[in-house]
């Protein structure tokens, strides 16, 4: 989910970029390049808005051409799904044009060990409850919200395939799950002719790039379109925090640890780049440039944005008018370069030993000094 700084006062007249639909992963499902996150629909968690405000956000998103809305069974204790269901079910044509994505996994029943998880009982009952709250006969995209290490992945995938075959779910995806588990699940589905995963939902931003080590590469290889969440890192990449501001102002305590010099260098570069871009609403913002960077990353299909009102929504959507050039992308890449886990650093180090001076797929290399200089030196 995305937190925006104060919304511009200029109303967004049109948003043609929102209607530049993309296919999600290795599927024919068409979705908007920006997905509307529904975690702020409802006030039960203390961070959202009431039903009337949420409905205005939904309608404005649809009016401007958006068609992809993401929620979860646990968001605001189920109220997020209920708000969507109450509003969209009233006009069947409106529900039919929207790609509704929801998640199962959260346990809404205290002390019930089977209330959540990746097993058949939890999945089946959660989906039935989501269908009732959403007031619909089918879920367009069902996500596994996070990994349940206690359930065999074969059981999870077989249950999901049964739901697709029953017509209650159309497409499947995983969220917040290790790459090796996603790969295992995808290969099992492929070998057994079960419904495949078409999408991967993960945290991804200029601050959080460690997913580039394995998750994004895995998704690209195995046909999963990436849908990043928290592309502004809980508001940190809006520019609202400075080196002199108190970390206690962070929306989530977990985000305060990212208010460091690396992050402020990223924000400084975002400000420099924003000065060279404009949108319908005027000067591009730090947040809009940060969203543009995520949108232009390899493997990304649709980025999840959040909005507590229509002004914040329109400010987010205006980021579609910002297209970064190669120099700007490279500058942000360099400023935010992450430290990746082993063996990624080592593999970069041995590039010269593999290519030995040759350029492969545009990647140049140096001559490996430990290689034979000519045929006479080769054993």
Higher pLDDT pick, 216 / 92: 216
- Distances, alpha carbon 182 to alpha carbons 247, 270, 362, in Å: 35, 33, 29
Q: What is the CA radius of gyration of the chain?
A: 22
Within 10 A of 49 (CB to CB), how many other CB atoms are there? Answer: 18
Q: Domains for the chain: give ranges and CATH numbers.
A: 16-335 (3.20.20.100), 347-377 (no CATH)
For 99-137, give one letter per residue: b (16+ CB within 10 A) or e: bbbbbbbbbeeeeeeeebbbbbebbbebbeebbebbbbe
**pTM, two decimal places:** 0.93
Contact (CB, 8 A) for 277 and 228: no
| Residues paired with residue 282 on neighbouring β-strands, in sequence order | 279
Farthest-apart Cα atoms in the chain, separation: 81
- Distances, alpha carbon 5 to alpha carbons 33, 38, 244, 248, 312, in Å: 21, 18, 18, 17, 8
Contact (CB, 8 A) for 33 and 20: yes
Note the pLDDT tens digit of each residue in 314-328. 999 999 999 999 999
Q: Hey, which residues are catalytic here?
A: 75
Q: What is the mean pLDDT of residues 260-286?
A: 96
φ, ψ (nearest 5 deg) of residue 10? -75, 125
Where does residue 342 rank: exposed (0-12), middle (13-18), buried (19+ CB within 10 A)?
exposed
The whole-angstrom separation of Cα 303 and Cα 230 is 9
The predicted pLDDT at position 242 comes to: 86
Note the pLDDT tens digit of each residue in 144-203. 999 999 999 999 999 999 999 999 999 999 999 999 999 999 999 999 999 999 999 999
- Distances, alpha carbon 328 to alpha carbons 7, 198, 208, 256, 317, in Å: 25, 30, 18, 27, 20
The predicted pLDDT at position 64 comes to: 97
Note the pLDDT tens digit of each residue in 23-53. 999 999 999 999 999 999 999 999 999 999 9
Where does residue 259 rank: exposed (0-12), middle (13-18), buried (19+ CB within 10 A)?
buried
């Amino acid at each position: 989910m995305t937190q925006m700084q104060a919304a511009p006062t200029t109303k967004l007249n049109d948003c043609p970029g929102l209607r530049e639909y993309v296919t999600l992963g290795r599927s024919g499902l068409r979705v908007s390049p920006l997905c509307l996150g529904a975690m702020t629909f409802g006030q039960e968690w203390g961070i959202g808005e009431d039903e009337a405000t949420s409905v205005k956000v939904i309608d404005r998103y649809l009016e401007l051409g958006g068609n992809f809305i993401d929620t979860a069974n646990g968001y605001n204790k189920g109220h997020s799904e209920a708000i969507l269901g109450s509003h969209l079910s009233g006009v069947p044509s409106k529900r039919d044009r929207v790609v509704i994505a929801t998640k199962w996994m959260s346990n809404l029943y205290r002390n019930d060990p089977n209330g959540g998880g990746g097993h058949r009982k939890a999945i089946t009952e959660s989906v039935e409850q989501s269908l009732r709250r959403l007031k619909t006969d089918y879920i367009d995209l069902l996500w596994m919200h996070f990994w349940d290490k206690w359930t065999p992945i074969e059981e999870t995938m077989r249950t999901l395939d049964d739901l697709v075959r029953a017509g209650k779910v159309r497409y499947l995806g995983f969220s917040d799950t290790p790459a090796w588990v996603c790969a295992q699940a995808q290969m099992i589905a492929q070998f057994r002719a079960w419904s495949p995963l078409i999408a991967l939902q993960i945290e991804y931003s200029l601050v959080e790039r460690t997913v580039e080590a394995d998750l994004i590469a895995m998704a690209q290889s195995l046909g999963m379109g990436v849908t990043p969440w928290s592309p502004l890192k809980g508001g940190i990449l809006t520019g609202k925090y400075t080196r002199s501001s108190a970390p206690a102002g962070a929306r989530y305590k977990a985000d305060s640890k990212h208010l460091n010099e690396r992050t402020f260098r990223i924000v400084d570069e975002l400000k420099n780049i924003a000065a060279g871009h404009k949108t319908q609403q005027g000067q591009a913002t730090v947040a809009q440039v940060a969203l543009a960077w995520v949108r232009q990353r390899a493997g990304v299909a649709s980025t999840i944005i959040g909005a507590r009102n229509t002004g914040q929504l329109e400010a987010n959507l205006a980021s579609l008018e910002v297209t970064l050039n190669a120099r700007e992308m490279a500058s942000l890449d360099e400023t935010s370069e992450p430290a990746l886990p082993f063996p990624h650093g080592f593999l970069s180090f041995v590039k010269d030993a593999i290519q030995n001076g040759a350029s492969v797929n545009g990647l140049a290399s140096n001559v490996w000094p430990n290689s034979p200089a000519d045929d006479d030196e080769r054993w």
